[in-house]
Amino acid sequence: MEKRFAGKGVLVTGAGSGIGRAIAVRFAREGARVGVNYHRNSGGAKKTLEMIVSGGGEGMLLPADISQSDAVEGMVEALAARFSSLDVLVNNSGIGSATSPDRVHEISEEDWDRVMAVNLKGCMLTSKAVLKYFMKQRSGSIINISSIRGLLGNPVLASYCASKGGEVTLTKEMALDYASFGIRVNCICPGFIDTEMFQVYLSKQEDPQAARDTFSKMALLVRIGRPEEIASVCAFLASDAASFITGVALAVDGGYTANGVREIK
């Protein structure tokens, strides 16, 4: 594989599983030195690092709650000191409501605040911490991993939709503010992706296979996406091949948002 990111420093938040892991491993395969951020999933983050090292790459574990500014600043400083460069940030961390139904009349303030703190504030804080490096070197790429739920509503996902929609518009705003510094800011909005989280959701359904089939049919390509497919798009957006792309919110969803909601038969 081409080493498009040889010598580059990359930070991926929420890299202990799923899309974050696939992104971290992809950048490492292309020569980047990768910071693997996690909060609670230490076992998953260690597995991600093992995959990076076993593939001949270089990485480091960066435990931090991205909703806390001191933790974020310390994480970014540690990465910059270890790798002597910081070139790409992927804001991937994301959560949903933990204990209450995610509808406005039912969600607890605690759950709402935590979703916003991780999904939106965390995106802002991590971007803020890396921007001082990017602005000084007058280059850099920030990629925010939002969701199709940042583009379309969904029942019982009030805080999630609001936070992911905020990521989409924050992407466009940051693209405006930092283009003059040579910094590109883009957003990926994944559809239904076959991650551990998605598999757990399916396992809780009365008929997991029927549920999987239904989600597959929602995409025009009639299948569930793979984390590696999101990672490929992420690597493209961070590369010189995308040097004229900024401020974009790109749906990677098998065509789901092209038709809104498909009739499932």
Helices 227-238 and 18-29 cross at an angle (nearest 10°) of 50
Amino acid residing at 120: L
Give CA–CA dist 265/261, Å, rounded.
Answer: 13
**What are the Cα distances from residue 185, in Å, to 25, 145, 224?**
21, 11, 27
| Nearest CA among 89, 164, 70, 165 for reference residue 119 | 164
**What are the Cα distances from residue 233, in Å, to 27, 90, 112, 197?**
11, 12, 30, 21
178 an active-site residue? no
Residues paired with residue 249 on neighbouring β-strands, in sequence order: 187
Q: Between vectors from CA 226 to CA 52 and to CA 53, what angle results, nearest 5°? A: 5
Give CA–CA dist 265/94, Å, rounded.
Answer: 32
Q: Looking at 160, 178, 201, 256, which residue is catalytic?
A: 160
Helices 208-218 and 196-203 cross at an angle (nearest 10°) of 130
Residues paired with residue 246 on neighbouring β-strands, in sequence order: none
Is residue 192 within 8 Å of residue 256, measured between CB atoms? Answer: yes
Tokens 């804001």 correspond to 91
As annotated, the active-site residues are 160
